[in-house]
Amino acid sequence: MNLQAETNLSISPRVDIYENEAQYLLITDLPGVQSTDLKVSYEKEHLELAAVNEESQVHFLRRFHVADVDHESITAKLTNGVLTLELPKALPALAREVPIQAS
């Protein structure tokens, strides 16, 4: 698995990471965090989780390097303070023989 994490800001929520042939699954407990305070983004093989809530003093930023993800199929669900992220793996590029045309 090619997954590396960086952590910043005032708290560092624990993230459970699972991998199977089809996807990566990240699960983290975020009590007190509302979906409006949470930002999830994926760019250039980096997944970023961030939250800022001035009222409850919840601040965090977690970054993960995750290669070979189908970025258009990532899903995020926040239910009862638990964030679940599903990152489907991209299908590997298939080898292909290029035909040569004779002229």
Q: In angstroms, how far is CA 34 from the centroid of its own chain? A: 18
Report phi then psi at 21, rounded to 5: -60, -30
Q: Does the structure show a pLDDT above 50 at 8?
A: no
All structural domains of the chain, each given as residue ranges with its CATH number in brackets, are 3-88 (2.60.40.790)
| % of the chain beyond a pLDDT of 90 | 54
Interatomic CA distance for residues 49 and 51, integer angstroms: 7
More confident call, 41 vs 32: 41
User: In this predicted structure, what is the pLDDT of residue 52?
Assistant: 83
Interatomic CA distance for residues 69 and 19, integer angstroms: 12
Q: Residue 10: pLDDT band by 50, 70, 90 thresholds?
A: low
Assess contact for 59 and 10: CB atoms under 8 A.
Answer: yes
| Rounded average pLDDT over 12-40 | 92
More confident call, 2 vs 22: 22
